[in-house]
Structure 1
Amino acid sequence: MEAYPSELLLIAFVAMLAPLVAELPSGARLPVVVLEVVLGIIIGPYMLDLAKPEGMIGTLGELGLAFLLFMVGLEIDFDKIRGKPLSLAVGGWLLSLFAATICMYFFNVIGLIQSPPLLAAVALSTTALGVLAPILRDRGELDSSFGTYMVAAAAAGEFGPLIIISLLLIPAHDTVLHGLFMVTFIIIAFVAANIALNARTSRMIEIMKRTMQSSGQLPVRICILLQILFVALAAKFGLNIVMGAFAAGMVTGLAIKGKEGETLRQKLDAIGYGFLIPIFFIVAGMKFDVSALWSAPLAPVQVALLLGLLVLVRGVPLVLYKSELAPEEKLPFAFYSATGLPLIMIISEIGVSSGHMRPDRAAILVSAGMLSVLLFPVLAVKLRGKMKWPWQ
């Protein structure tokens, strides 16, 4: 216990330092989440060994992941993405999953990437909406046409893999019972969403406004309760807890949409992006074993190949966006879509704990996911013409 105050102080300092560095005048301004991951790598046990992602630190990191998925669900505006953006996103993700499955079976057969094909394919088809949402918001692109299609595609790349790993890759119950639990959870989420939409009476809104400015902070506490309730429900049903957090965010977003909920959104933003979410990215960096990049003779080749496959697999759906995206938007769209880390880490951990994936194979997969977060958003921003490199 004595080590935690100093480690927490260090993490708090790093969390403060990342946005400060991002605001420094520079030719190549990095997204805050990238800086958080990099600084986490530096202070972690595989570099300076100043802090370890275990005990209280690890717990805060897990809470940060849950809150990240909660905020992702909260920020999805279904009125904006429904229709063509959502249908293209779902079709594009299924196309990505198909392409990833074929690629991973091929590379598994020839022995170049020896990981369970389905497990690796699901990992390659993910998109880290939790990473992209703050970047797009900071760039002022969330409300643009590009941002709308990007959020829809990222939501499909987040929610689709969650369903797959919850149904097929988490052996908490037999297949039929597990499927029933999954359907039950989805029904409960839809019922909760319907209640949230119908509970927006003038009296309820007035109570929320009044208590939001008091020490009771009732609306904030209700949101936290709802998040914990869905996370606990998902865990009880044998589903991954991030699915519960994601569902809680979507329900909350429906309940507080509009100008009436703007103050509450700001308060949740402050809790999430000001406290818990930066800790998740810092802890994720601390967990990154840099030596995995050269742990075996083929490791660098495998990581580079997986990075290329991430872009290829998540770039395949661009064939569906011929008239929706301008030519100069397509490559940034592919790089943004190929950015994945949280679900890649979760899928790798599930593979290792279930015995389906060797730890060294998981490390290679996580290394590719980590590098995608470090490289792809920067490349996407560069291609969008939002920044210049120092040598330009």
Structure 2
Amino acid sequence: MEAYPSELLLIVFVAMLAPLLAELPRGFRLPVVVIEIVLGIMIGPHVLHLASPVGMVDTLGQLGLTFLLFMVGLEINVDKVRGRPLSLALGGWFLSFILATICMFFFNAIGLIQAPPMLAAVALSTTALGVLGPILRDRGELDSEFGKYMVAAAAAGEFCPLLVISLLVIPTHSTLVHTLFIVTFIIIALAAANVALNMRSLRAIERLAHTMQSSGQLPVRICLVLQVLFVVLASKFGLNIVMGAFAAGMVVGLASKGEGGELLRHKLDAIGYGFLIPIFFIVAGMKFEVSALWTGPLAPIQVTLLLGLLVLVRGIPVILYRQALAPEEQVPFALYSATGLPLIVVISEIGVSSGLMRSDRAAILVGAGMISVLLLPFLAVKLRGKLLLPW
């Protein structure tokens, strides 16, 4: 227990240092989340061994992951992404998944990438909306036309893999019972969304506003209860907890739209991006086994191949956006779409814990996802040209 205060002090110091480093001269700037991951790798047990992702540190990292998906769901404007952006996103993800499945069966058959093909295909078809959200937000692109299509594509890259995992990979009951659990969870989520819409029409958030400046903070506490409730329900129904957090965020987002919920969103924003979410990215860096990149003779080749497959699998759907995006936006869109880490980590952990994947194979997959987060958003930002907002 005596080691925890110093480790936590180091982690929160790194969280404070990351945005300061992001203010370096324009030619060297990286997204804050990338810097947090790199600093996490540096202080973790696989490099400097200054801190370990265990105990309280690991718990805070898990809380950060759920709050990250909660904030992603909160920030999605359903009114903006529905219609063409959503239909293109779903079609693009389905194309990605089919292509990833074919590729993984092929490489598994020739022995170059030895991992369960369906499990690896789901991992390759993910997009890290939780990583891209802060980047697009910091650049002022979240509400732009490009951002609208990007958020829809990334949301499909988060939600669809979670749904496939829940249906095919990790059922803890019979297929019929598990399907009934999923349907029940969806019904509960839709019912909560309907209540949220009615609350917005009745301006319930405004009625609770008088507690926002007091120690009660009732609306904030209601949001936290809702988040934990959905996470627990998802866990009990055999779904991944991040799906519960994502659904809770969308429900809160529906209830808090408009000026009445602006203060509430600011407070949730401060809890998430000011405290828990940076810890998740730092802890994710601490867990990354750097040595896995060179433990075997084929490891560097496998990581490079998987990174290339990420770009190919999630980049190919850009052909569907030829009429929606300008030519100069299409390559950055493909690179952003190929950025994946949180769900790759989750899927790898599921594979290892279920005995479907060896830990060294999982490290290779996570390594490719880690490099995608470190490299692809940086390249996309560079290709996007002049920043829309000063960093």
Q: Residues of 2 paired with 1:66 and 1:200: CA distance?
A: 24
Q: Residues of 2 paired with 1:253 and 1:203: CA distance?
A: 14
* Aligned counterpart, 1:77: 77
Shift of 1:173: 1.2
Q: Residues of 2 paired with 1:79 and 1:293: CA distance?
A: 43
Paired AA for residue 312 in structure 1: L
* Aligned counterpart, 2:284: 284
Q: Deviations over 1:186-238 (max 9, x none)?
A: 11000000011012255623322111111100010000000000001111111
* Aligned counterpart, 2:97: 97
Shift of 1:260: 1.3
CA change 1:237–1:372 in 2 (3 A) is same
1:20 and 2:49 aligned: no
* Aligned counterpart, 2:217: 217
* Aligned counterpart, 1:294: 294
Structure 2 spans left out of the alignment, 5+ residues: none
Q: Is the 2:45–2:51 Cα contact (8 Å) retained in structure 1?
A: yes
Q: Map 1:25-104 onto structure 2 (within 5 A).
A: 25-104=25-104
Q: Map 1:132-281 onto structure 2 (within 5 A).
A: 132-202=132-202, 204-281=204-281
Paired AA for residue 97 in structure 1: F
TM-score (norm 2): 0.98
Q: Deviations over 1:336-372 (max 9, x none)?
A: 0000000000000000011111111101000000000
* Aligned counterpart, 1:369: 369
Paired AA for residue 98 in structure 2: F
Shift of 1:109: 0.7
Q: Residues of 2 paired with 1:28 and 1:20: CA distance?
A: 13
Q: Residues of 1 paired with 2:314 and 2:206: CA distance?
A: 45
Q: Residues of 1 paired with 2:13 and 2:285: CA distance?
A: 15
Shift of 1:295: 1.1
Shift of 1:171: 2.9
% same residue:
78
SS at match of 1:154: helix
Q: Residues of 1 paired with 2:203 and 2:308: CA distance?
A: 54
SS at match of 2:102: helix
Paired AA for residue 255 in structure 2: A
Q: Residues of 2 paired with 1:171 and 1:296: CA distance?
A: 33
SS at match of 2:59: helix
CA change 1:201–1:80 in 2 (3 A) is closer
Paired AA for residue 85 in structure 2: P
Q: Is the 2:46–2:289 Cα contact (8 Å) retained in structure 1?
A: yes
* Aligned counterpart, 1:390: none
How many residue pairs get matched?
387
Q: Residues of 1 paired with 2:385 and 2:298: CA distance?
A: 35
Higher deviation after alignment, 164-173 or 44-53: 164-173
SS at match of 1:200: helix
Q: Residues of 2 paired with 1:159 and 1:37: CA distance?
A: 23
TM-score (norm 1): 0.97
Structure 1 spans left out of the alignment, 5+ residues: 388-392
Paired AA for residue 325 in structure 2: L
* Aligned counterpart, 1:340: 340
* Aligned counterpart, 1:309: 309
The ranges of structure 1 where at least 4 consecutive aligned residues each deviate by more than 4 angstroms after the TM superposition are none
Q: Residues of 1 paired with 2:316 and 2:82: CA distance?
A: 21
Paired AA for residue 92 in structure 2: G
Q: Is the 2:341–2:370 Cα contact (8 Å) retained in structure 1?
A: yes
Shift of 1:262: 1.0
Q: Residues of 2 paired with 1:238 and 1:313: CA distance?
A: 28
Q: Residues of 1 paired with 2:9 and 2:386: CA distance?
A: 34
